[in-house]
Amino acid sequence: MNQSVNDRPTPPPVDPEDAFHTSTEATLLPLPTTPDLDPPGADRIGLSPAEVDQFREFGYVIKRGLVPPADFAAIIDFWWQQPPVVTTGAVRDDPGTWISPRRYWPRDNRWGLEDNWMGSHPWPGPTDPRPGANIGERVGRLPFKLTRDRANDVWRWHGIGHDPAFVEVSAAHPSVLHMVELLLGGPVKRPRRSRGIYALFPKDPSEPASRLGPHMDDNPTELLVSMILEDIGSREGGFTLYPGSARALYPTSAQALNWVATERSPAAMDDIKANVQPIEFTGKAGDVVFCHGWTVHSAGIHDGRRIRMAAFHDLNKVRRRGHLRWTAAGKHGGPRVNCDMDGILTIPVDGVDDPADGWREVTQQWLVDSNEFVLDRSPPFDDMFKQWNLGRQEAAGHIVKEPAWWEKYNMPLLPAGSVPRGGGGVPAAPLTSVATYEGDGRWRFPLKGNNWMGQVE
């Protein structure tokens, strides 16, 4: 263990599914990112001096036509064959059939799941009794996540995110990795999954107008990358971001490489929402935006008639990793309990151990490629881009095939058995199977994130 980077205070545990947000409403409506606003160089792979300047000040850069649409055309075809589309009767050539599909979606959606919950059970439904969790407790992400968000129906297809063929043409596309190396510098961790394809459906005009929900993903992600899969015009649900927001939030974090909100962070977030002009990522299929991972963003406002189809990826450098972000379900009406950066999960036991706590359901935010904390707990640097490349050195192909976090911790993720491509996901495991009990409600998780480097932690 490297004491010089890890002897700093342990922040309170955070639920890995949480995002950092405040209660105030967004005040400004987004402006589209039309190509005439791009700095010179947007239509070429590489980073021009003007693009570097923009990234330093505003924390994002757009590359037009970075990935040829032909590369992911087969994935789009596959999208149209999936249950959230087929069950609605949506027809590719008939936009009238795309509107508000939620009325056809099952409330209890179990598509693409294996019977591997807690080892061998079906994933539970909202009314199923569960020895290791409260009835109705969340099960974490589903491979086909269907929601109604601020008036628009959304399908987040996380199950395609770990599909090797999809990863190859999206998060790990050679042109994407080239840009990531130019921005972050090597060694770049070759992603093993993407968050997947997020589809925002057009709504019925009689439904309420969609609204922004600005937040910052509380993930250990250095670059948040979004790729347009179908052309997007203004007010058609384009990924919306707040330029410069990462730079405003950065000095309020207690750490440089893990987001640890402090008492100054909410005021910074409120200021961003009140005063920063948001932009919506509009463009053509294959356009890609690279954002600093702490950029405040929102699903876009969608008053259009097309399906907004985009993919979202988490890109990172290879770094020494801290613990996986585990979370244990609440039980007997009690609250959920989360693992801290030291790999400790503490269940209040009031002096009386509950032997059955070892059977609590433990999950993690499996949709992201970066699910482990950064081991280094340094405070924010004077220059937030101190460790970045930002075009200083040419990309040399320094891409490392680091094992995926689910492989490091021997968790199932990929579809197996009778589950078809596009499904899968990490089920809950009993607490006692992934952590060791130390008494007084204290459970310790092992650190396995760096074993592949050949070092003993």
Which residues make up the interface to Fe ion (CB under 5 A)?
A: 217
Residue 303's CB is within 10 A of a number of other CB atoms, namely 16
Contacts of 187 (CB under 8 A, 6+ apart): 317, 318, 398, 399, 400
347 touches 443 (CB < 8 A): yes
Minimum Å gap between C-beta 428 and Fe ion is 23
How far does CA 100 lie from the centroid of its chain? 24
Please work out, in degrees rounded to the nearest 5, the angle formed at the alpha carbon of residue 110 by the alpha carbons of 107 and 113.
165
List the beta bridge partners of residue 337. 328
H/E element, 180: helix 174-184
Residue closer to Fe ion (CB basis): 217 or 287: 217
Minimum Å gap between C-beta 368 and Fe ion is 11
Collapse the DSSP code of 323 into the 3-class scheme (helix H, G, I; strand E, B; otherwise coil) and give the result.
strand
Collapse the DSSP code of 427 into the 3-class scheme (helix H, G, I; strand E, B; otherwise coil) and give the result.
coil
Residue 212: exposure state from Cβ atoms within 10 A (0-12, 13-18, ≥19): buried
Residue number of the CB closest to Fe ion reads 217
Q: What is the DSSP letter of 223?
A: E
Minimum Å gap between C-beta 172 and Fe ion is 21
Minimum Å gap between C-beta 221 and Fe ion is 10
**Residue 350 token pair:** 């009031």
List the beta bridge partners of residue 297. 215, 241
Minimum Å gap between C-beta 283 and Fe ion is 19
Phi, psi angles (nearest 5°) of residue 107: -65, -40
Minimum Å gap between C-beta 374 and Fe ion is 19
Residue closer to Fe ion (CB basis): 198 or 409: 198
Residue 193's closest CA among 172, 178, 223, 224?
Answer: 172
Residue closer to Fe ion (CB basis): 75 or 368: 368
Minimum Å gap between C-beta 375 and Fe ion is 24
Residue closer to Fe ion (CB basis): 241 or 428: 241
Residue closer to Fe ion (CB basis): 301 or 328: 301
423 touches 206 (CB < 8 A): no
Residue closer to Fe ion (CB basis): 41 or 293: 293
Minimum Å gap between C-beta 20 and Fe ion is 10
